[in-house]
Structure 1
């Protein structure tokens, strides 16, 4: 598997930062090569370059139309909202598997 670059986006970046760390640990345990960055929603465009997949915190669903508009500019990058059960539990393994399932290869 080639290196995958994942971007997590939440309101302020704090909770997604903890989730990113958990995802990194899970990837390492599985022998996967990934980078996971966590940013606030106002920083998406500063960090999206070279990302393979973008995941949004479930609490950002109220911004879905705005986020879709932003992501449409990067139409090759798959994106989705992190399932509540993974986000709430800071389940790095589940979130990592979800992110990788969005990739076309």
Structure 2
């Protein structure tokens, strides 16, 4: 699989940055080529044309329809990260979610 670009968004980009770091570690262990950026939800439009997957933190559930719509318009799968995965910063589980979205 070619390197895939993933954007994780949260309110300010900080908590998603920690999760992104753990996903990079998990991907390296599994030899998965992935480029992950963590940004604020306000930056989605700046990246939507250059990503393969869009993930968002559970605290942005109120934006789900808007983010799904943006993803659909650009053929980018979008998913909310489960509370347990997000809260525990579980890079392995988040990577599994990304890989599931890529094979759909």
TM bucket normalised to smaller: over 0.9
SS at match of 2:49: coil
Distance between the aligned counterparts of 2:79 and 2:92, measured in 1? 16
Higher helix share goes to which structure?
Answer: 2
Distance between the aligned counterparts of 1:71 and 1:29, measured in 2? 29
In the comparison of the two structures, how many residue pairs are matched? 104
Q: Conserved in 1, the CA contact under 8 Å of 2:67 and 2:78?
A: no
SS at match of 1:12: coil
Please list every run of at least 4 consecutive aligned residues from structure 1 whose deviation after the TM superposition is greater than 6 angstroms.
Answer: none
Deviates more, 1:49-58 or 1:87-96: 49-58
Query: Given the two structures, how large is their TM-score scaled by the length of structure 2?
Result: 0.92
| Unaligned stretches of 5+ residues in structure 2 | none
Q: 1:68 aligns to what?
A: 68
For residues 43-79 of structure 1, give each alpha carbon's deviation from its aligned partner in whole angstroms, at most 9, with x where no partner exists.
Answer: 00111222111101111001223223333321x1111
| Unaligned stretches of 5+ residues in structure 1 | none
